[in-house]
Structure 1
Amino acid sequence: MSAVFLKRVLTWSIPAILVNLAIQYHESGKLTAATVVVCASVFLLGGLLFEASNSWWTRRFEKNPITRAVSAGFWTIAAIALFVFFYRMS
């Protein structure tokens, strides 16, 4: 693993861990060591999986302009769908 890969994993994972632990502490008023360890493990492994799949996706599909356009279209549709979903929920 390269240092850049690990940096991207930590850049994504550490803020997510801290936010999750803050929410858990706010809801329950306590944190145990086991909770912190499990939470950190899950988010770090999730970050590793996310970055590995992102790296694979970039190597596999981001070389052709057509696949980049399809990817952009997919993410545009996903963003609009999420916006509509959360707008209707409020």
Structure 2
Amino acid sequence: MTLHTLNRAPSNTALLADCLRACSSGDTLLLIEDGVYCALAGQPIAWPAGVTLCALAADVAARGLDSRLASNIAQADDAGFVQLCCEHTRVISWY
């Protein structure tokens, strides 16, 4: 199992596409920094099947997006981020 972290907005289509291609069933994708914009409801993103989707709560709040997230996106606090890192065998950061 891999934890993927993505910190770029969906406008960085090449990076987003590379990240999504690398995700496999059982992986987790954590959206951080400007990556939380990918979590907005209505984004035309084809999320990979079997991948758990999360957004870092502090980054969501900092951008005022709390009420605008898609329903399939969970939020993780800082302790949850650390827990995700411990639960996965590797971490890949997409910057």
Instruction: Name the structure with the higher strand share.
Output: 2
Instruction: Specify if TM > 0.5.
Output: no
TM-score normalised over the length of structure 1: 0.29
Bigger relative CO (Cα 8 Å, ≥ 6 apart): 2
TM-score normalised over the length of structure 2: 0.28
Higher gyration radius (CA): 1
